[in-house]
Amino acid sequence: MASLIHKGGRWSLQFRLRPNSERATIALGTMTEATALGFQERVEALIEAVRADGPPDSSTATWVTRLSDAHHAKLARVGLVVPRDGAADALGPPLLGSFLGDFVAKREKLLAAGKNKPGTVATLKVVRDNLVDFFGATCPMDRITAGRCDEWRDWLGTEKKLADNTIRRRCGIGRQYFRAAVRLRLLTENPFQDMRDCSVGENRARDYFVCREEAAKVLEACPDAQWRLLFALSRFGGLRCPSEHLGLRWADVDWDRRRFTVHSPKTARKGKPSRLVPLFPELRPYLEAVYFAYLEAGEVPEHVITRYRDTNANLRTQLIRIIGRAGLQPWPKLFQNLRATRATELVSQGWPEYKVCAWLGHTEAVAKRHYWQVTDADYQRAAGVDSSDPAALQMALQVSGATPCKGVNADFGAPDGTPDATPSCSKSHPAADYFTTEQVRLAGFEPAAYGLGNRCSIP
């Protein structure tokens, strides 16, 4: 795999890192033949590890850490090892505090370049501090075993009093730290590798449906038009707060076609940087109020939300105060519950699931796991029609076969957001398009036999 060459009293190695790559050369200099042969063996082990995209064996990893800086730099230049940047001690495995500090520093550089998020870096720092507090900054990383990681997890619950999902998240980041050390060939194994439940799970006990009566009270208690729009974008637009709110621009609003474009940093990583959302009738008044206020001031800015763009603005704390002024108790997940409420509401209104998912920017699997809820109104409709609910009454009439009205569904428009001037079964409920007014014959236990005078099937 690697050819050892002796010429003029000096040794060198030639090899191909990949089968089709160019031949690389490492000048070893003057040394004994036995030392050169040992070097050749270790280089071949490193080549195998690179091709397998994994760490080398423990003895080779230890050998790399004990190389001189000159020889280590030669290996780094040909892609066999990562250049030394202070994360590892040349005489042994990396120290925990030093490695974690370098890892976070690199992420801060990515943050400055706009390739990372402030919240991500902040979370990395918190987990770094937790690891250092428990293991110590000078602890060699190869001494941290799987059992010690289990003790650290227990410590997060007993000493830090963290919630279960928070512990899961921090263990996931701990696994990320050690996986990076393995990929840099500073460690041979990840002690977090076999730890289970390192991702955030759903907690349906914190579900809450923010009904329209509560939403109206909160909107009335908002201090200004921009706060009302922030709340309306979450409750009636289903936007993720604050990233999608702050990314919304006036150029994204298509007033004529009654829709707007939402830019989503979360889904951009999956190849879906934006989505089209209908300009829902419940949302439009609050968007117009802010827009006309700018027109009256004589200048329309680029972004829709301008007063709360500071990344240090704590929208959550302010919303808790607004909810308190409205005479309500804050719901468990302030903004996520608003988004989940809108997802549930649209599906309950009869919109197909795939359309709702396209508008709100999530998959059906995510919606089923985190968003869709069974509401009090669902129980009321199942037990009997609530005449105070026009939508439920209309749906019941449709299913029962009552003659529907032949009005024009111009209030809401067609499902794609464009005006719909075609006759519709309902003036306000889009679900009417998905029900038939034709009575369905009930089937019995036996196949229907209409030619027989004496049959068992229910007519």
Three-class DSSP category at 62: helix
Among 94-108, 130-144, 312-326, 424-438, which is the least confidently predicted range? 424-438
Task: Please state, in angstroms and rounded to a whole number, the distance separating the CA atoms of residues 232 and 249.
Answer: 16
Q: Does residue 164 or residue 419 have the better pLDDT?
A: 164
Task: Please state, in angstroms and rounded to a whole number, the distance separating the CA atoms of residues 71 and 79.
Answer: 13
Task: Please state, in angstroms and rounded to a whole number, the distance separating the CA atoms of residues 318 and 221.
Answer: 11
Share of the chain above pLDDT 90, in %: 38
If you average pLDDT over every residue of the chain, what do you get?
80
CATH 1.10.443.10 fits 209-371, yes or no: yes
CATH topology of domain 96-201: DNA polymerase; domain 1 (1.10.150)
Quick check: 436 pLDDT over 60?
A: no
Give the model's confidence band at 331: pLDDT under 50 very low, under 70 low, under 90 confident, else very high: very high
pLDDT per residue over 390-401, tens digit each? 555 454 444 444
* pLDDT reported for residue 201: 63
Mean pLDDT of 278-298: 94
Q: Residue 400 in contact with residue 422, Cβ under 8 Å? A: no
pLDDT per residue over 188-226, tens digit each? 899 999 998 887 766 677 889 999 999 999 999 999 999
pLDDT per residue over 260-270, tens digit each? 999 988 888 77
Q: In the chain, list all ranges with CATH 1.10.150.130.
A: 96-201
Q: Residue 94 in contact with residue 141, Cβ under 8 Å? A: yes
pLDDT per residue over 130-173, tens digit each? 999 999 888 889 889 999 999 999 999 999 999 888 999 999 99
Q: Does residue 172 or residue 70 have the better pLDDT?
A: 172
CA distances 220 to 137, 233, 237, 241, 340, Å, are 52, 15, 18, 20, 22
Cite the DSSP H helix spans in 29-117.
33-51, 58-65, 69-77, 96-112
The end-to-end CA distance of the chain, in Å, is 82
Helix (H) or strand (E) run with residue 397 in it: helix 390-400
Cα dihedral sign for 35, 41, 45, 48? positive
* pLDDT reported for residue 156: 95
pTM higher than 0.75 for the full model?
no
Q: In the chain, list all ranges with CATH 1.10.443.10.
A: 209-371
